Amino acid sequence: MSLDTEFVKKSITIPVDIYHAAQPFVVDGNFSAFVTQSIRKFLSTERLTAWIAEYEAEHGVIPQEEVDECAKRLFG
């Protein structure tokens, strides 16, 4: 994150079990950074989902073999 990034302060309410489950992933007690990272991942997933839908609308369904190969390259 660059030093010139602007921020907005918001208050959130989440179930206590979700809060406690997230704690092992919170670095240095910075819950805001964890939430920011989570939202970024969510937005990336949404953009990828939209791109895939657009691609498949134009070119047809991506074959499962290609999906599997991509997953293998990404996740081992």
Report pLDDT for 4. 83
Measured distance CA(41)–CA(48) in Å, rounded:
10
- What total number of domains does the chain contain? 1
- Residue 66 structure tokens: 């290609």
Query: What does pTM read for this prediction?
Result: 0.77
Domain that residue 54 falls in: 16-75
Residue 2 lies in a domain: no
Measured distance CA(15)–CA(22) in Å, rounded:
11
Q: Which tens digits make up the pLDDT trace of 1-57?
A: 667 889 999 999 999 999 999 999 999 999 999 999 999 999 999 999 999 999 999
Picking from 73, 57, 1, 71, the residue whose alpha carbon sits closest to that of residue 32 is 1
Measured distance CA(29)–CA(47) in Å, rounded:
29
Residue 34 lies in a domain: yes
